[in-house]
Amino acid sequence: MLRKRNCRMDSCSGASVTSLDQQDLCLNHFLLRCYEKLEGVDPRNRKLCPDPLELASLRGFVEECSRKTLDLSLHCENLTNLQRGRLLDILLWAGELFFLLRAPRLTTWESHNLGRLQRVVNRAGLEPASR
């Protein structure tokens, strides 16, 4: 039988629901770690292009991140709407990064167009319906 384990983040007593980078994490710390790591992986936040070796490890992380996020959103019970939204957000971001890291030469063009798409989505999604 699988033993219950606790989240490995400092002073957190939450039960771990998954692992990332071989660290057991509770759901909230998993979300936090994903955001932190994806921020660092995103080529749009980097000045230098990663070398091929680093690129492979970044892709590996993005893949692990999206796999575990999908798994959690399908199998984790009692998710709040906010947690659900964050899981979806991470999943979309990871998918986008996976694409950007596959084709670094397209990065500028893609991020330009994805940025435009994001603005359209934000306008459509965040404007209050009745105003």
**Interface with Zn ion includes 12 (CB under 5 A)?**
yes
**Interface with Zn ion includes 76 (CB under 5 A)?**
no
CA gap 124, 82 in Å, rounded: 19
**Interface with Zn ion includes 26 (CB under 5 A)?**
yes
CB 7 to Zn ion: min, Å: 3
**# residues contacting Zn ion (CB under 5 A):** 6
Listed ranges 6-14, 34-42, 49-57, 111-119: which one lies at the site for Zn ion (CB under 5 A): 6-14
Interface with Zn ion (CB under 5 A), residue from 17, 29, 65, 87: 29
DSSP states along 12-48: --PBP-EEETTEEE-HHHHHHHHHHHHHHH-GGG-SS
CA gap 45, 76 in Å, rounded: 31
**Interface with Zn ion includes 14 (CB under 5 A)?**
yes
CB 25 to Zn ion: min, Å: 6
State the Cα torsion 53-50-72-19 to the nearest 10°.
60
**Interface with Zn ion includes 9 (CB under 5 A)?**
yes
H runs (alpha helix) in 2-131: 27-41, 52-75, 81-102, 107-126
Listed ranges 24-32, 38-46, 80-88, 117-125: which one lies at the site for Zn ion (CB under 5 A): 24-32
Residue 60 DSSP class: H
Contacts to Zn ion by CB under 5 A: 7, 9, 12, 14, 26, 29
